[in-house]
Amino acid sequence: MMRHPGLAMRMLVAGSILFAFYLLVAIAMMLGGIPLELVILITLGFVGFQWKFGKWAALRSVGARDVSEDEYPYLHQSVESLSRRMDVPKPRVMVAEMGAPNAFAIGRRNKGTVVVATELMQILDRQELDGVLAHELAHIRNRDVVMMVLGQSIASLVGIVVTYAMIFGGRRNLGAYFLAWIAGSLAQMLVMVFVLAISRYREYVADADAAEAIGTGDPLARALEKIQRSNERVDQTRIDDNTAALCIFDSPHGLLRSIFSTHPPTEKRIERLRYGAY
């Protein structure tokens, strides 16, 4: 049973809207002369491929690797202890040199993966690291990682279909190709707006779950402060935009990225954790 009705409702609404976009894509392909059977094969195959590829790409982009209990004993012990406390099967534990302190979770409830940056473990004490790990386990338990990855997949699919529909439905010259690319990008951004409907809220929920799991929100608040300060001094990381959406911390640069940020302001997250306004 979903522990958070607010998150469940947002996921239901966002999922329904994303499914509507998915159907519109299928209808557009059928109107373009593609048989129904092939439309189903293409659309389901694309989303399925994106789900598998998205996980692989996120892990590969940061160079994540599996680590043994002998190599990182406390990391494994903490994940195992928190998993029992939060009633989640212990996920795969990986570390990566991301170029900045961060962490993210990916996968399903029964087949999750937690990736921790070596830079993160260098700046956090054990309580703070527990707070971050509990936050990532909350994402797996709440199944919101699945919604994020599938939402990004459907947004990509919509963008591709709009682009090619304009190319094949109009003149084929450099200007038409450019306009088609613009239209596809705008369509993809439109779909991503509905993904953002749950993205920021899910971070607040995971913060609250982490505070509940470890008994206080202060360690995670301290961790976020350290992570924010460290990221302000970093010019470049190995974390791409898609992976950043899954991380515990994403620092948007510029007005447009702030508007479409996948994370709420860090200051507000810290305030909620410190004063219990979950």
Q: Which residues are catalytic?
A: 136
Contact assessment for residue 80 and residue 90, using Cβ atoms and an 8 Å cutoff: yes
Under DSSP, the state recorded for 100 is: S
- Rounded Cα distance between 84 and 176, Å, is 56
Residue among 263, 219, 149, 206 at smallest CA distance from 3: 206
Where do the H-state alpha helices sit in the chain? 5-31, 36-61, 73-85, 118-123, 126-142, 144-169, 174-214, 218-232, 241-244, 255-259, 266-275
Q: Alpha-carbon dihedral of residues 65, 54, 58, 139, nearest 10 degrees?
A: -90
How many residues make up the chain in this entry?
278
Tell me how far the alpha carbon of residue 169 is from its chain's centroid: 34
Compute the chain's Rg from CA coordinates.
Answer: 20
Which residues, other chains included, contact 90 with Cβ-Cβ below 8 Å and sequence gap of 6+? 79, 80, 83
Query: What interhelical angle do 174-214 and 5-31 show, nearest 10?
Result: 160
